[in-house]
């Protein structure tokens, strides 16, 4: 009987040992599973992170491309502005040139301008007269600067051989043909009719630069 009890006790002890081993094994299996799951989660997280990095890289590349495109547009804009400026500059130069060339001859129209040491505001007033005489000798005209009415006949009286008469401004002959005055290099008298309002300069071809022998007729409308 005691032997049977001893055998039963040993059998129970063996059964208890087997159960503990199975539990440990099961627990280990669970832990392994859990570990595997954790590894999967980590792998998945890494994949997501990698995907996020790719997305960020793509986004950055896209932004860089946009920036580059924007820069190009900006460059085009600058180029366009530069072209506009150049065109404006060219137009201004052209206008300046026209204005300059116009000032070298007679100026028609109602505007009266200072020329040949004459000023319309201080010129001798001969308006209302049908004819006026300008005399010249001793390197000067008298009156050198005068205002007349449209239709006035102006007579230049003196020797044109030593003092050739020329239409123009600042000792430069007016080749436009707008001035009533014409080149005269002989004789002692010449008459010119001033019909159109404007400023008309004249000078002595031999003594304009050296003796300032010049003048102007202002036709007041």
pLDDT more than 90, % of the chain:
47
pLDDT tens per residue across span 159-168: 999 999 999 9
Contact 154, 194 (CB under 8 A): yes
Whole-angstrom distance between the N-terminal and C-terminal Cα of the chain? 161
**Average of per-residue pLDDT across 6-35:** 46
pLDDT of residue 150: 97
pLDDT of residue 16: 54
Check pLDDT > 60 for residue 194: yes
Q: Which of 204, 211, 218 is nearest to 136 (CA)?
A: 204
Which position has the higher pLDDT, 20 or 162? Answer: 162
Q: Which of 194, 126, 189, 182 is nearest to 156 (CA)?
A: 189
Cα three-residue angle 8-10-15, rounded to 5 degrees: 95
Tokens standing for residue 145: 């600067």
Contact 194, 148 (CB under 8 A): yes
pLDDT tens per residue across span 49-106: 334 333 333 433 333 343 334 434 444 444 444 444 444 444 444 333 333 333 344 6
Q: 134 to each of 33, 121, 166, how far by Cα in Å?
A: 127, 19, 14
Least confident range of 8-17, 89-98, 194-203, 205-214: 89-98
pLDDT tens per residue across span 123-151: 999 999 999 999 999 899 999 999 999 99
**Could you check whether the bond before residue 193 is cis, i.e. omega within 30 degrees of 0?**
no
Which position has the higher pLDDT, 38 or 160? Answer: 160
Check pLDDT > 90 for residue 211: yes
């Amino acid at each position: 009987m005691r032997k049977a009890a001893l055998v039963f006790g040993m059998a129970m002890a063996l059964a208890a040992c087997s159960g503990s081993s199975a539990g440990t094994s099961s627990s280990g299996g669970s832990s392994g599973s859990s570990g595997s799951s954790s590894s999967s989660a980590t792998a998945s997280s890494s994949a997501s992170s990698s995907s996020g990095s790719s997305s960020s890289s793509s986004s950055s590349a896209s932004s860089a491309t946009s920036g580059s495109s924007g820069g190009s547009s900006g460059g085009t804009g600058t180029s366009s502005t530069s072209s506009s400026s150049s065109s404006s500059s060219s137009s201004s130069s052209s206008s300046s040139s026209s204005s300059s060339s116009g000032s070298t001859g007679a100026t028609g129209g109602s505007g009266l301008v200072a020329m040949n040491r004459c000023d319309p505001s201080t010129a001798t007033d001969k308006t209302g007269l049908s004819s006026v005489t300008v005399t010249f000798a001793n390197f000067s005209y008298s009156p050198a600067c005068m205002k007349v009415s449209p239709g006035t006949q102006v007579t230049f009286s003196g020797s044109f051989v030593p003092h050739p008469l020329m239409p123009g401004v600042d000792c430069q002959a007016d080749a436009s043909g707008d001035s009533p005055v014409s080149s005269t290099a002989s004789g002692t008298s010449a008459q010119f009719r001033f019909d159109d309002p404007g400023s008309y300069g004249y000078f002595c071809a031999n003594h304009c630069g050296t003796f300032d022998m010049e003048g102007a007729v202002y036709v007041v409308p």
